[in-house]
Amino acid sequence: MSQAETQSKLYLPSDAVVASAHVSGMDAYHALCKEAETDYEGFWARQARELLSWKTPFTTVLDESNAPFFKWFEDGTLNASYNCLDRNIERGLGDKTAIIFEADGGEVTKVTYSELLAKTCQYANALKSLGVTKGDRVVIYISMSIDGVAAMQACARIGATHSVVFGGFSAQSLRDRIEDTGAVAVITADHQVRGGKPLALKGIVDEALGLGGCDAVKNVLVVKRTGSPINMVEGRDLWLADLAASQPTTCEPEWVGAEHPLFLLYTSGSTGKPKGVQHSTGGYLLHAALTTQWTFDLKADDVFWCTADIGWVTGHTYITYGPLALGGTEIVFEGVPTYPDAGRFWKMIQDHKVSIFYTAPTAIRSLIKAAEANDAVHPKSYDLSSLRLLGSVGEPINPAAWEWYYKNVGGSRCPIVDTFWQTETGGHMITPLPGATPMVPGSCTLPFPGIQAAIVDETGKDVPNGQGGILVVKRPWPSMIRTIWGDNERFVKSYYPADFQGKYYLAGDGAIRDAETGYFTITGRIDDVLNVSGHRMGTMEIESALVSCTELVAEAAVVGRPDETTGEAVCAFVVLKRPAPTGDEAKAIAKQLRDHVGKEIGPIAKPKDIRFGDNLPKTRSGKIMRRLLRSIAKGETITQDTSTLENPAILDQLGQAY
């Protein structure tokens, strides 16, 4: 289907949806965009005053004097946890359910706003009792739980900067992050439970700390999840519940400046080690709340469910901060979508009467497969009538998956918000607003009001609609990345490159706008970053992990290839320190290498395909021909000119994937 044909298929929100939405109709959307265009600072200041509670009101809005190190609302003070908890209670929501937690095995625990505040305060006091104070970093390595959310909120309460590390990362990755942040404490659990299986968390923390370089860590606080035996180091490790039990359930919030770093979150770039994306308190929280209100249209009686893990930015913004800042009720789910069967999501929507559901295309695609093979796990076998709005995030959603989601999950009545954004942007950047924007499957449609997204060429010149180019944001916005922790230079180089005279934020994605509607479609990363099941990974990180298997590997190159379920798949081309293996031997070595990558980075980075060659295809000047590798990975017949290849014979070897 051509883009024009796709775009002719507009899905309109129903009159009822439009009538009740926070942003009601396209005129309202355009009016907000206009307001932002006419008075940019005034627009954001109004939102910041209306949505957040400030201890000291700000008098300055945007400070561009040290661009690209922008500052927002700098002289205002506030506390993120006060905004998410106390003020809801002050507004009479103390007995309202804040979190409905469903464990892997199906047990349900609920906490009200008052209970969540009490827990948060006890955790905050526990941290304080260990000497953790404002500006300290705390690494949180925990699975989805009320404790995880409370631990993040507790850090925010005392002005400590949290850095959550996804529970699927290896000891090595965890160590790297602990070292880079200089964390003074780690909060973890004994185990996590996924798909019926307990997996170590504390054991991995022990291993990470044992690898060295984490000398700043004084304490490890452990949440009891399974109660199975773990090692506790005398004087360093403490059970969080024991320490918290004797603490008061109130804790005066630490009022911090709007620019105070709320959190660091590591993400992959095209070069080097993962970067610690630093977010602010005021600007970040504003966009978390505003997008939850406008994009998700969150209302008092909604049950909101974002299926992301708190180890990713989506879990930060749309579990820990956005919905709580608005006093919403949300689901926190520990398990996986396919356990005990692939109907789990649909059953949970039915059981908890979920009204807003936000998930990733990769989950949808795998559930489509399962549903088509088995009626019992098809959405039609569940009562999903509570749903009123659906969302998608993490990667482009292909039109076929969009249509299936719309029809089978949303009953053809729920708008789908296909939200484009990044760890660095803090919240939604390009997305439909459910009661306004006509939807087109596969397009994230139009910029959020106040976001100056544009498509330019290599020199920074605007490209006309209908022509692809580089996605940039022309003006700073409140929830943008402030810097890369400890590396201002890398921040400037990565996001404000000289190519655009340092003026535009470079997203790292390619995009195209439809000639008629001006709608954006994201065409994928333009750097060496892969997106596998919505998880970002640098090809260089995986290459380094492979070559760190020094007894076996001489050289490695990693590229992505399209995959029906995971969006993209990791393909590794490996030269061993011995002749290229074939058959069973190749299979065995491939397994060994996968396990090695799993240990170095985490299971999510394990290559799906491994191809062995006695060499890699290189130009005569010695450059690896990555474009050729991508073609081989896709299984395409090679049409590229290979005459400049140093060693054309290896193309045959690389034809076989293990």
Residues in 494-523 that interact with ligand 6R9 by CB under 6 A: 507-509, 522
The answer to the question of residue 525 lying near ligand 6R9 (CB under 6 A) is yes
Taking the complex as a whole, the smallest distance from the CB of residue 314 to ligand 6R9 amounts, in Å, to 5
CA-based end-to-end distance of the chain:
34
- Fill in the per-residue mask, 531 to 550: x = in contact with ligand 6R9 (CB under 6 A), - = not in contact: x--x-x--------------
Mask: binding to ligand 6R9, 424-463, rule CB under 6 A, as x and -? --------------------x-------------------
612 marked as binding residue: no
Q: Is 418 in the site for ligand 6R9 (CB under 6 A)?
A: yes
492 is written with which tokens?
Answer: 């400037």
The amino acid at residue 44 is W
Nearest residue to 224 (alpha-carbon basis) of 208, 242, 207? 242
Minimum Å distance from CB 514 to ligand 6R9?
15
Span interacting with ligand 6R9, options 141-149, 191-199, 308-316, 485-493, rule CB under 6 A: 308-316
x-or-dash string of contact with ligand 6R9, 254-293, rule CB under 6 A: -------------x--------------------------
The CA distance from 367 to 378, in Å, is: 8
Contact flags string 214-253 toward ligand 6R9, x per CB under 6 A: ----------------------------------------
Q: Is 6 in the site for ligand 6R9 (CB under 6 A)?
A: no
In three-state form (DSSP H/G/I as H, E/B as E, the rest C), the secondary structure along 314-352 is HHHHHHHHHHHHCCCEEEEECCCCCCCCCCHHHHHHHHH
Site map (CB under 6 A) of ligand 6R9, residues 389-408, x = contact: ----xxxx------------
Under rule CB under 6 A, residue 422 binds ligand 6R9: yes
Pair of tokens at residue 602: 């985490």
Under a CB-based contact definition with an 8 Å cutoff, are residues 160 and 135 in contact? yes
Measured CA to CA, the distance from residue 609 to residue 587 in angstroms comes to: 11
- Residue 234 class from Cβ within 10 Å (0-12 exposed, 13-18 middle, 19+ buried)? exposed
> Shortest approach of ligand 6R9 to residue 56 CB, angstroms?
31
Nearest distance, CB of residue 509 and ligand 6R9, angstroms: 5
Residue 396 labelled as part of a binding site: yes
* Residue 152 or 393 having the CB closest to ligand 6R9: 393
Instruction: Kindly state the smallest distance separating residue 651's Cβ from ligand 6R9, in Å.
Output: 30
Residue 420 marked in a binding site: yes
Encoded tokens for 569: 């798949």
- Please tell me whether residue 145 binds ligand 6R9 under the rule CB under 6 A: no
Interacting stretch for ligand 6R9, rule CB under 6 A, among 24-32, 64-72, 528-536, 599-607?
Answer: 528-536
Q: Should residue 166 be labelled a site residue for ligand 6R9 when binding is judged by CB under 6 A?
A: no
| Site size with ligand 6R9, rule: CB under 6 A | 23
Q: Which is nearer to ligand 6R9, 54 or 519 (CB)?
A: 519
358 is a contact residue toward ligand 6R9 (CB under 6 A): no
Residue 448 burial (10 A CB sphere; 0-12, 13-18, 19+): buried
Pick one of 7, 125, 278, 314: the residue that binds ligand 6R9 (CB under 6 A): 314
Q: Is 65 annotated as a binding residue?
A: no
Give least dist CB 91 to ligand 6R9, A: 29
Tell me 198's DSSP state.
E
Between 417 and 586, name the residue whose CB sits nearer to ligand 6R9.
417
Whole-number Å distance between alpha carbons of 149 and 132? 18
Instruction: Single out the segment in contact with ligand 6R9 by CB under 6 A; choices: 121-129, 253-261, 419-427, 601-609.
Output: 419-427
Residue 520 CB, nearest distance to ligand 6R9 (Å)?
9
393 is in an annotated binding site: no
425 has binding-site annotation: no
Distance CA 50, CA 569 (A): 44
Contact predicate 615/650, CB 8 Å: yes
Say if residue 354 carries a ligand binding annotation: no
- The β-bridge partners of 574 are 556, 612
DSSP state of 646: S
- Which of 509-513's residues contact partners 24+ apart within 8 Å by CB, and which partners? 509/420, 509/471, 510/468, 510/469, 510/470, 510/471, 511/455, 511/468, 511/469, 511/470, 511/471, 512/3, 512/455, 512/466, 512/467, 512/468, 512/469, 513/455, 513/465, 513/466
Provide, rounded to whole angstroms, the least separation between the CB of residue 531 and ligand 6R9.
5
* CB-CB contact of 533 with 566 (8 Å): yes
Confirm whether residue 510 is marked as ligand binding: no
As measured in angstroms, the least distance from the Cβ of 579 to ligand 6R9 is: 38
Q: Which residues have C-beta within 8 Å of that of residue 34, sequence separation ≥ 6?
A: none
Tell me whether residue 124 or residue 313 sits nearer to ligand 6R9 (CB atom).
Answer: 313
Residue 197 marked in a binding site = yes
547 is in an annotated binding site: yes
Asked whether 227 and 241 are in contact (CB, 8 A), the reply is no
Give CA separation, 100 vs 145, 334, 564, in Å.
10, 11, 33
Which helix (H) or strand (E) segment holds residue 356: the answer is strand 356-359
**Of 121, 114, 115, 116, nearest to 156 (Cα)?**
121
- What b/e sequence results for 32-59 when a residue is b if at least 16 CB atoms lie within 10 Å of its CB, and e otherwise? bbeebeeebeebbbebbeebbebeeebe
Which range of residues in 25-33, 382-390, 530-538, 600-608 is near ligand 6R9 by CB under 6 A?
A: 530-538
User: How many alpha carbons lie under 13 Å from residue 301 in its C-beta half-sphere?
Assistant: 4
Q: Which residues bind ligand 6R9 (CB under 6 A)?
A: 267, 312-314, 393-396, 418-423, 444, 507-509, 522, 525, 531, 534, 536
Q: Which residues are annotated as a binding site for ATP?
A: 394-396, 418-423, 509, 525, 536
Q: Which residues are annotated as a binding site?
A: 194-197, 314, 394-396, 418-423, 509, 525, 533, 536, 547, 553
